[in-house]
């Protein structure tokens, strides 16, 4: 089993703070399988990847951890959903520090928001799952709720479900709304397993970015769904990634966007110099391999040190 991958030091500089990252654990107590497109998925082994991640993060004495969503797979038998989610949350809780979770489509296949958010300790009002935190005064982390407008997770008669279903009806002609058949290029994101950031959340994001600018903070955006077409497949993007990025680009404080969902992982720097890093999925690690990492934050850069399948990445911040 390989461990440290790629870049291992930042010229011996001391980071301001370091945190752990993992995405798409998608645990289920079921035999190995494959995605719709045939990519192998190791539903039981992903628990071992998480356990090795927590052990490594504790050994490195990281300050906090961010989980980028999809802790349990949609194929988990429904009678086992609660037990499986509690099992994974419990594994995260072995980390000696705060763990910040976000919701993904697979979490929502297993439990409705009302049950899920308290288990994930997500601060919530009216079932929304966006929040921010500031681990050190110089940096602000903004966790977006990519399934705010979504056909999964809200009650069937909730206005957000109705809005999402209407949107999918307009944008995706297939009877299976998870199928991108016939959709071209970036239109291929209009799938039921994706979602959008709603109007109220956009207003909240605007206020947070304004406040961060006033406080001279550097902002890192976290969302289960990727926000940049060059860092992700079209099929994995947030429905309104373009609107969200237009807002983000109005501020100079956002330097990095981190995401999951697109299991292969990806990296790109957009035309405004914002770094987009999508994390490789823990679910797709063949037995004995890993996909987790930690990020060292410096004044002028973020350094991701990945293990095995998670590529390392230096992200130099343009100030
Ligand atoms: N090219 C594709 C990809 C997916 N689907 C549908 O989405 C569901 C989830 O896909 P996974 O990759 O997570 O397995 C899948 O069951 C299909 O219904 C599709 O139609 N075409
Ligand atoms: O969320 P999943 O596991 O169904 O996979 C989503 C795909 O990676 C998006 O293209």
pLDDT tens sequence across 109-146: 999 999 999 999 999 989 999 999 999 999 999 999 99
In a domain, 9, yes or no: no
For the chain, give the mean pLDDT.
Answer: 96
In a domain, 3, yes or no: no
From 28, 179, 234, 263, the mutation candidate for ligand 1 (largest count of ligand atoms within 8 A of CB) is: 179
User: What pLDDT digit, counting tens, does each position of 17-59 carry?
Assistant: 999 999 999 999 999 999 999 999 999 999 999 999 999 999 9
From 110, 153, 263, the mutation candidate for ligand 2 (largest count of ligand atoms within 8 A of CB) is: 263
Does residue 311 have a pLDDT over 50? yes
| Tokens read off for 236 | 């994995």
Domain count within the chain: 1
Does residue 7 have a pLDDT over 70? no
* pTM, rounded to two decimals: 0.96
CA of 125 to the centre of ligand 1 (A): 32
User: What pLDDT digit, counting tens, does each position of 260-272 carry?
Assistant: 999 999 999 999 9
> What is the 3 state secondary structure string of 52-101?
HHHHHHHHCCCCEEEECCCCECCCCCHHHHHHHHHHHHHHHHCCCCCEEE
Query: Which backbone phi and psi does 92 adopt, to 5 degrees?
Result: -60, -35
Percent of the chain whose pLDDT exceeds 70: 97
In a domain, 27, yes or no: yes
**Residue 3's pLDDT band (cuts 50, 70, 90):** very low
CATH of the domain at 305: 3.60.21.10
- For helices 199-214 and 241-249, angle between their N-to-C axes, nearest 10 degrees: 20
For 239, residues 6+ apart whose C-beta sits below 8 A from its C-beta are 149, 167, 189, 190, 194, 195, 196
Pocket of ligand 1 contains residue 174 by CB under 6 Å: no
What is the predicted ipTM?
Answer: 0.97
Pocket of ligand 2 contains residue 105 by CB under 6 Å: yes
Closest residue CA from atom 13 of ligand 1: 35
Top-confidence residue, 6 or 35: 35
In a domain, 5, yes or no: no
- The residue range of the domain holding 43 is 15-316
The pLDDT assigned to 13 comes to: 87
Does residue 237 have a pLDDT over 80? yes
**pLDDT mean over 214-243:** 98
């Amino acid at each position: 089993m390989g461990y440290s991958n790629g870049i291992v030091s930042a010229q011996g500089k001391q980071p301001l703070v370091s945190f752990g990252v993992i995405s798409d654990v998608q645990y289920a107590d079921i035999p190995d399988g494959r995605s719709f497109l045939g990519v192998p998925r190791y539903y039981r082994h992903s628990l071992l990847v998480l356990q090795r991640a927590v052990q490594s993060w504790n050994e490195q004495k990281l300050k906090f951890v961010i989980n980028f969503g999809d802790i349990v797979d949609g194929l988990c038998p429904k009678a086992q959903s609660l037990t499986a989610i509690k099992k994974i949350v419990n594994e995260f809780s072995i980390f000696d520090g705060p763990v910040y979770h976000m919701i993904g489509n697979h979490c929502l296949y297993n439990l409705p928001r009302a049950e899920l958010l308290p288990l994930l300790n997500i601060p919530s009002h009216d079932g929304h799952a966006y929040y921010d935190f500031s681990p050190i005064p110089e940096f602000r982390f903004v966790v977006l709720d990519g399934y705010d407008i979504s056909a999964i997770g809200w009650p069937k008669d909730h206005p957000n479900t109705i809005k999402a279903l209407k949107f999918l009806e307009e944008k995706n002609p297939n009877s299976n709304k998870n199928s991108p058949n016939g959709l071209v290029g970036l239109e291929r994101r209009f799938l039921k397993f994706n979602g959008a950031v709603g109007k109220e959340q956009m207003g909240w994001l605007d206020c947070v970015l304004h406040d961060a600018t006033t406080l001279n903070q550097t902002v890192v955006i976290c969302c289960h769904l990727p926000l940049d077409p060059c860092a992700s497949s079209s099929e994995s993007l947030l429905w309104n990634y373009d609107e969200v990025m237009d807002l983000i680009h109005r501020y100079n404080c956002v330097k990095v966007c981190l995401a999951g969902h697109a299991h292969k992982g990806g990296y790109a720097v957009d035309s405004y110099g914002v770094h987009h890093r999508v994390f490789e999925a823990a679910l797709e690690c063949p037995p004995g391999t890993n996909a987790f990492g930690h990020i060292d934050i410096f004044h002028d850069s973020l350094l991701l040190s990945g293990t095995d399948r998670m590529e390392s990445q230096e992200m130099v911040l343009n100030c």
